[in-house]
Structure 1
Amino acid sequence: VAGASKHTTQYSEETKKACIKFTNEWGTNCLDLACSHQAPVDIIETMISIAGREILYETDYEGDTVLHTACDSGGSIELVKVLLDAGGKDLVLKQNDIGDNALHCICRETKADLLMTKLLISVGGRALLMQQDNNEGDTPLHCVCERVDLPPDIAKEMLHIGGKELVMRQNSSFGQTALHKACSCGNIETVNLLLDIGGLELTLIGDDYGETALHSLRLREIA
């Protein structure tokens, strides 16, 4: 009887794990869905405990991990902390099919905030900012500079970590700096932050078409 009880318990745990890891036609598992619907943190922790750490690295049909999902859907900082505590630096540096890491996702999310940015950078380090262009060649800073609705503190935090090297960084698709992006969107507060670090040297950098950030600003005024 004791042996039967042990077998039943083991089978039950295996069934629970299989249920959590079950994916739908879009490659989305139950943990992804729980995170996208803002399930309580204790439930998320339990699901990870049952399914194992490897579930954090499973991806849907767009290459998104559960961390991408949480960041894309405006997940709470408590939720993201749970995922990072379990997945660590490898998880935060993982890129999806369009090359976005979790910080790229946050920069596109309407609820992006400074605390979430700091949390992701604290785990991913400079590599998260400096070594991970997406498929459009953009760093997270490029993405932030295109968002006039975001507080400048987010760009300021990135610049605090990345410094002049990040400011002068040209994207790999069209050779644009973050200043090109900020000027093209009329993101004046961020323009000032970038110029404080990059100075005149930054304004003289041309993209692959030979256009400086001033060209981008002028084109915006004409439009």
Structure 2
Amino acid sequence: MRFIAILIVLTYALTGSLSLAQAVEKAMVKQGLVNVQEVDPSILVELKYSTTDNFVGKDVYGDLTRAYMQPMAAKKLASASKYLQTNHPDLRLLVYDAARPRSAQWNLWNALPNMPENERQKYVADPRKGSIHNYGCAVDLTVATKDGKPLDMGTKYDFFGELAYPSREEELLKAGKLTQEQINNRHILRTAMRQGGFSSIEFEWWHFNALSREKAKMVFRIVD
């Protein structure tokens, strides 16, 4: 099945009948992933790796504009969205990244050649092991107003450093490096995502997992 999906991508890319991004979408759908906005149309999407506004400074995804996840993960995201809107009617979830092909994972990994490997793995999973994004079970996102304006979280998406660490927020608040409003905004996001069934990580306020990598490996295949 995996080889069939890869063949579909290559065939459509070479014939020109579909763009590479469209072929990748077709392969993800064939593997059972779903467009999160078809599960919950109120969720906003701005894939940062389809822009130059990311740590690579390059467009990694091409014309891919829709966010895909495993159905169970998309349902959890819809649950988080519902919780957010129930408690904050003027706010919406804004997705920056969801399912990520392993080919893109290599691009991100190779963009940090001078960073020590143990440090690099804090921010980009080793493609040889696979990221939870590669299984369609992780999402990067923020909270925004209805018209798509992100709330102030203290750092941009893809910020590498302690200011982005949820584990250091109280310390950073006392040091005056984060404001109470910024931390409150992060709490709004984390609370909604945890209510939806996601877990957060230590180094990135924007990243949430629907499953552990070990469980994702047991249930799903990597999106190539």
Same-fold call, TM > 0.5? no
- Structure number with greater CO (CA < 8 Å, separation at least 6) is 2
Q: What TM bracket, shorter-length normalisation?
A: under 0.3
The structure number with the bigger radius of gyration is 1
Q: Choose between structure 1 and 2: higher strand proportion.
A: 2
Q: Choose between structure 1 and 2: higher helix proportion.
A: 1
